[in-house]
A and B are shown apart, each in its own frame.
Chain A
């Protein structure tokens, strides 16, 4: 390089550096002086989220440049020619703001801003500056301490069974409505068995319960179900949705995660043990840091590893690898904050949160908590930066996230989410908006094995003062019992989230759960014993009209089975359900033509399914690139991110699967064989048995007769077995089978 060119280069670098500095100063000036002015005096009439008088929006640079009916509002660099300046000076056609002219120094601020070229960062909130958001957070319902109000009084006191009913009935009565009558015992046992176990009660269980006249028969039933170990499978599945659990990595090669299932089993066991929530959270975020850490608590940190990963194909350059690590940590921070806190801090990765009181700095302070972690137990196939496959230690048969030293690398804000564009240095902290007490992040001795940052975070999340976290949790529990949460946006309690239908009840439940040391089972019991839960699923005309979404819970909703419950029920009714617990995932039969739609980690061709495939759907290997169609179509989560609420979609392809899948056909045949009796006079009895197995009730005379006519007509074409298979197939496809009353 000649001297001349190197000088030229230096000059260029210097110029661009100057330019960046000027830009940064301009933005700082804008944020400090200009934006507050705009918020105070302009946005009321000229913002994209409010009125737009004169077709003018002033909450973005584009808005200023586009201007309104009279043309551009600013000419960058030229205050004299800018309508904005003319208007605030009352010089041109407009005099703004209309109420009162701005002070001279305020006008000077705007003039200076325009002469700077009107910098207006697009990352800022269009509506509220961060200070305003923080101020609004002071009164936002979910960030307030738990209310401890007295029970609301109700008129229909005989209906009430426990405290929960007071809250529910008070709102029902206030709306001039009445609750539904209590469901009949057969419905009740079906509902609560599905609710707690995800399986239908057997006909014998139904009969015994219906004939049990003891006053505490239902309470005993609930207690027994809560002790049943299938409870952990059912409620563990709800947690796995949140934890975005899968058995493969997704992305390019969809690598097998041979030990992921240990986390699944850990979750099931934790639910069966009724582990206190604080311990459950701590193990998943900081299983290597908790007291009495052991292999199980390390497995628990699988929570931090469940997200999609691309460990063998992240790119070969330093920049790509840094960005990949930032993406992996983002998955963790977004998941952690939405699952445990019900807030969308992930949105603050590239810029301050658009609508909620979280700054990008908040995001990176959270990131600092996890910044010292490393993956322990690599997925076979993982490559290093040079594309060389890493040797995985065969002795490590878990998938965990751990720290190995006390010192955590210095963490910086990454501007616009770019790992190569570092901003200010940050310390570990939780978002400033949570002002009920910042956790104290200890400085561990230099020879310590970890920074204890994650454990500190976990303890802070589940401290009794963290009303938000407990509200989020009880709302999730309520959601699974009633189909929707008291707050419908179950993972978003921020400004954009829904407001609670019964705020006092929500706080009552949160307080109860804290008192019960965060054990779920007593809370389940209290909810399940309420009169609210025992209501029939029929609604009065008045309720349907005035409360079509059933926010007041004037009746129980009719709920479509989740994908797993549907498949498990088919197997339970056919008599082929294999109730084996735990272990590696199973791979049931997929249609051969679907297998090539994922070339990596290919699904095996299964000619014929047998008992090893007929286990509960919880155990189906969750392959990110190719989910089982019956699961996916019935709204099982995609696993790419935390799923708080499953859909209840209704599409013809669901019908196609239930009509034509070999699985349903085979199980219909097994169901028929199970009850088959060739003796002619037994046909009504056989049909009745099928109804009891499939619906938990005997057929009434009209149904019985229709079924008989059908079986006889089908039988004339083929055989009794085929005819009963046809009937079984109809039962599996019927709405009464798929909807839980």
Chain B
């Protein structure tokens, strides 16, 4: 741990102020301090004053088309059906199917909000929040292949094995929630993206920092409930005897400090059983709220439930929620190879209303200022056509947006060239994006390091610059 402020420093620095004393009391009461370094998830102070406490990463897996959603390129209509000068054969991922033939967007764009943000007609609900959004049109990534590109967006690195950004955040800040995991992943109804659980991997960090998949219906986490023949009384009786014996064993073996923490881990697990179940009980929400998120509508219900659950998780102190739209691959994700319009019509419909509801809801509850929303996929899509009316993978220029969490609203930042082929103005790399996310949480991406096999690793490796122009 190379953070300048560790827990000890935190407590030493906390001499004055009721808040910190109260925190210390709480930590003691929860036994978090017992056994010293044994609770890696203890809440840690950020490195400097943060704007955001939590991140909700709306991951549009498959690669949503920037050209058709947030970065209109009217010139493509003029070039429609003709080769464009910027395209190179090797840009294609689908070698045989993707030709250098411009493909005009099937969507109409309009300006929204006071800022006049251009958005496609596919986002009628989100458009109402145009003045809250910061549209970054100049992202660029390094792979045009889902697997490596997902790894890069999630961990900064094209291969498996590095911790994902949620793990870095959890490592840097710990958890604010006593009874819930700090890093939660919510999947699309189509299942997980390619790479599976490697996308939310802790990499070389301890498993503590791994993302935990939650479900918004049924049992929220695996192993949260005992087998049905074990009643609560029966479980409690077991745990009482276990506690007695584990405490005795810890007392007899002072040589191993983690034994005390192990006693606490069971009590925490016991409480998690209830709090996680409570958290995912969406029936506690009013009909109006459920309606707003689109829970009654078949198309929006799944993503809506996940958005609502994301809010409830953040409300309860979860640091990092990653919410996937799209699963598996191809048409089940935003991977519009064959028919762009059909694909994006569906995925926009599934997500538009829920995302708009999430923004409204966070705002109404005063949580938007401290919750950073990030929207985007692992890459954008080609300005040229694949199979006539689809678009191929394309990482050289694409759009993401942010909202809340100390980011300026009603802003468009950076630009791609006239064809939407490559980011050209105020280019934002994936490490830049990561640096900015960490910065909003009060973490300096150059100082947040983790030692592994003799080397200090960073999420942003050797690059990354905070996009200061978009900070509020």
Question: Could you tell me the distance in whole angstroms from the C-beta of B389 to the nearest C-beta in chain A?
Answer: 20
The answer to whether B242 and A733 have CB atoms under 8 Å apart is: yes
Which listed residue (B159, B218, B261, B265) contacts A327, Cβ 8 A? B159
Which listed residue (B203, B206, B207, B224) contacts A660, Cβ 8 A? B224
Is the CB of B38 closer than 8 A to any CB of chain A?
Answer: yes
Enumerate chain B residues within 8 angstroms of A315, measured Cβ to Cβ: 93, 144-145
The answer to whether A600 and B197 have CB atoms under 8 Å apart is: no
Is the CB of B194 closer than 8 A to any CB of chain A?
Answer: yes
Is the CB of A211 closer than 8 A to any CB of chain B?
Answer: no
The answer to whether B195 and A251 have CB atoms under 8 Å apart is: yes
The answer to whether A386 and B194 have CB atoms under 8 Å apart is: no
Near A by CB (< 8 A), chain B positions 30-45 give 38-41
Task: Write the chain B residue with the least CB distance to A354.
Answer: B455
Given contacts A315-B144, A625-B197, A660-B224, contact A599 B453 (CB under 8 A): no
Which listed residue (A251, A591, A651) contacts B208, Cβ 8 A? A651
Task: Identify the stretch in A3-11, A29-37, A81-89, A628-636 within 8 Å (CB) of chain B at 4 or more residues.
Answer: A628-636
Enumerate chain A residues within 8 angstroms of B455, measured Cβ to Cβ: 344, 347, 355, 496
The answer to whether A730 and B160 have CB atoms under 8 Å apart is: no
Is the CB of B191 closer than 8 A to any CB of chain A?
Answer: yes
Task: Write the chain B residue with the least CB distance to A661.
Answer: B223
Which listed residue (B95, B219, B246, B327) contacts A387, Cβ 8 A? B95
The answer to whether B245 and A736 have CB atoms under 8 Å apart is: yes
The answer to whether B218 and A313 have CB atoms under 8 Å apart is: no
Chain A interface, >50% SS class: loop
Q: Which of A250, A355, A387, A717 gathers most chain B CB within 10 Å?
A: A250
Question: Could you tell me the distance in whole angstroms from the C-beta of B217 to the nearest C-beta in chain A?
Answer: 10
Is the CB of A516 closer than 8 A to any CB of chain B?
Answer: no
Enumerate chain A residues within 8 angstroms of B327, measured Cβ to Cβ: 596, 599
The answer to whether B196 and A647 have CB atoms under 8 Å apart is: no
Enumerate chain A residues within 8 angstroms of B204, measured Cβ to Cβ: 638, 641
Enumerate chain A residues within 8 angstroms of B246, measured Cβ to Cβ: 734-735
Is the CB of A544 closer than 8 A to any CB of chain B?
Answer: yes
The answer to whether A344 and B454 have CB atoms under 8 Å apart is: yes
Is the CB of B1 closer than 8 A to any CB of chain A?
Answer: no
The answer to whether B454 and A497 have CB atoms under 8 Å apart is: yes
The answer to whether B227 and A650 have CB atoms under 8 Å apart is: no
Question: Could you tell me the distance in whole angstroms from the C-beta of A443 to the nearest C-beta in chain B?
Answer: 35
Whole-angstrom distance between the alpha carbons of A310 and B224 in the complex? 34
Enumerate chain A residues within 8 angstroms of B272, measured Cβ to Cβ: 652, 656
Is the CB of B136 closer than 8 A to any CB of chain A?
Answer: no
Given contacts A317-B95, A494-B454, A660-B227, contact A626 B197 (CB under 8 A): yes
Task: Write the chain B residue with the least CB distance to A123.
Answer: B462
Near B by CB (< 8 A), chain A positions 584-629 give 591, 593-594, 596-600, 624-627, 629
Enumerate chain A residues within 8 angstroms of B237, measured Cβ to Cβ: 710, 713-714, 726
Is the CB of B96 closer than 8 A to any CB of chain A?
Answer: yes
Is the CB of A644 closer than 8 A to any CB of chain B?
Answer: yes
Is the CB of A659 closer than 8 A to any CB of chain B?
Answer: yes
The answer to whether A653 and B212 have CB atoms under 8 Å apart is: yes
Task: Write the chain A residue with the least CB distance to B96.
Answer: A386
Question: Could you tell me the distance in whole angstroms from the C-beta of A687 to the nearest C-beta in chain B?
Answer: 12
Which listed residue (A313, A491, A544, A654) contacts B453, Cβ 8 A? A491
The answer to whether B90 and A317 have CB atoms under 8 Å apart is: yes
Question: Could you tell me the distance in whole angstroms from the C-beta of B278 to the nearest C-beta in chain A?
Answer: 16
Task: Write the chain A residue with the least CB distance to B271.
Answer: A652
0 or 1 for each of B160-196: is its CB under 8 Å from A? (1 = yes): 1100000000000000000001000001000110111
Enumerate chain B residues within 8 angstroms of A558, measured Cβ to Cβ: 253, 255-256, 259
Is the CB of A144 closer than 8 A to any CB of chain B?
Answer: no
0 or 1 for each of A383-421: is its CB under 8 Å from B? (1 = yes): 001110000000000000000000000000000000000
Question: Could you tell me the distance in whole angstroms from the C-beta of B89 to the nearest C-beta in chain A?
Answer: 8
The answer to whether B226 and A660 have CB atoms under 8 Å apart is: yes
Interface size for A (C-beta < 8 A) is 90
Question: Could you tell me the distance in whole angstroms from the C-beta of A668 to the nearest C-beta in chain B?
Answer: 10
Near A by CB (< 8 A), chain B positions 90-148 give 90, 92-96, 144-148
Which listed residue (B159, B197, B256, B269) contacts A308, Cβ 8 A? B159
Interface size for B (C-beta < 8 A) is 84
Is the CB of B16 closer than 8 A to any CB of chain A?
Answer: no
Given contacts A659-B235, A665-B226, A734-B246, contact A338 B197 (CB under 8 A): no
Near B by CB (< 8 A), chain A positions 522-542 give 537-539
Is the CB of B48 closer than 8 A to any CB of chain A?
Answer: no
Question: Could you tell me the distance in whole angstroms from the C-beta of B170 to the nearest C-beta in chain A?
Answer: 11
Question: Could you tell me the distance in whole angstroms from the C-beta of A528 to the nearest C-beta in chain B?
Answer: 21
Given contacts A635-B207, A648-B258, contact A655 B266 (CB under 8 A): yes
Question: Could you tell me the distance in whole angstroms from the C-beta of A320 to the nearest C-beta in chain B?
Answer: 7
Enumerate chain B residues within 8 angstroms of A385, measured Cβ to Cβ: 95
Whole-angstrom distance between the alpha carbons of A84 and B366 in the complex? 52
Enumerate chain B residues within 8 angstroms of A496, measured Cβ to Cβ: 454-455
0 or 1 for each of B205-224: is its CB under 8 Å from A? (1 = yes): 01110101101001101111
The answer to whether B453 and A338 have CB atoms under 8 Å apart is: yes
Enumerate chain A residues within 8 angstroms of B273, measured Cβ to Cβ: 656
Question: Could you tell me the distance in whole angstroms from the C-beta of B85 to the nearest C-beta in chain A?
Answer: 12
Near B by CB (< 8 A), chain A positions 214-252 give 250-252
Is the CB of A316 closer than 8 A to any CB of chain B?
Answer: yes
Enumerate chain A residues within 8 angstroms of B39, measured Cβ to Cβ: 650
Is the CB of B9 closer than 8 A to any CB of chain A?
Answer: no
Question: Could you tell me the distance in whole angstroms from the C-beta of B304 to the nearest C-beta in chain A?
Answer: 19
The answer to whether B255 and A656 have CB atoms under 8 Å apart is: no
Enumerate chain B residues within 8 angstroms of A537, measured Cβ to Cβ: 253, 255
Enumerate chain B residues within 8 angstroms of A593, measured Cβ to Cβ: 215, 218-219, 222
0 or 1 for each of A340-360: is its CB under 8 Å from B? (1 = yes): 000010010000000100000
The answer to whether A736 and B92 have CB atoms under 8 Å apart is: no
Whole-angstrom distance between the alpha carbons of A517 and B192 in the complex? 50
The answer to whether A655 and B161 have CB atoms under 8 Å apart is: no
The answer to whether A625 and B241 have CB atoms under 8 Å apart is: no
Is the CB of B47 closer than 8 A to any CB of chain A?
Answer: no
The answer to whether A598 and B268 have CB atoms under 8 Å apart is: no
Question: Could you tell me the distance in whole angstroms from the C-beta of A471 to the nearest C-beta in chain B?
Answer: 15
The answer to whether A599 and B196 have CB atoms under 8 Å apart is: yes
The answer to whether B261 and A650 have CB atoms under 8 Å apart is: yes
The answer to whether B161 and A641 have CB atoms under 8 Å apart is: yes
The answer to whether A596 and B191 have CB atoms under 8 Å apart is: yes
Which listed residue (B93, B227, B242, B265) contacts A654, Cβ 8 A? B265
Given contacts A316-B92, A625-B197, A735-B250, contact A659 B269 (CB under 8 A): yes
The answer to whether A344 and B453 have CB atoms under 8 Å apart is: yes
B residues near A (Cβ < 8 Å) are: 38-41, 89-90, 92-96, 144-148, 159-161, 181, 187, 191-192, 194-198, 201-204, 206-208, 210, 212-213, 215, 218-219, 221-227, 229-230, 233-235, 237-239, 241-242, 244-246, 249-250, 253-256, 258-259, 261-262, 265-266, 268-270, 272-273, 327-328, 453-455, 462
Q: What are 30 A-B residue pairs whose CB atoms fall within 8 Å in the complex?
A: A253-B194, A317-B92, A320-B145, A489-B454, A492-B453, A494-B454, A538-B253, A539-B254, A558-B253, A591-B222, A596-B191, A598-B197, A599-B194, A599-B327, A599-B328, A632-B207, A638-B202, A649-B208, A655-B266, A656-B223, A659-B235, A659-B270, A660-B225, A660-B227, A661-B223, A706-B244, A706-B245, A726-B234, A734-B246, A735-B249
User: Which 4 pairs between the two chains have the least Cβ-Cβ distance?
Assistant: A625-B196, A492-B454, A598-B196, A655-B269
Knowing that A649-B206, A659-B239 are A-B contacts, what are 7 other residue pairs whose CB atoms are under 8 Å apart, sorted by A's residue number? A347-B455, A593-B219, A598-B197, A600-B196, A640-B198, A650-B39, A652-B266
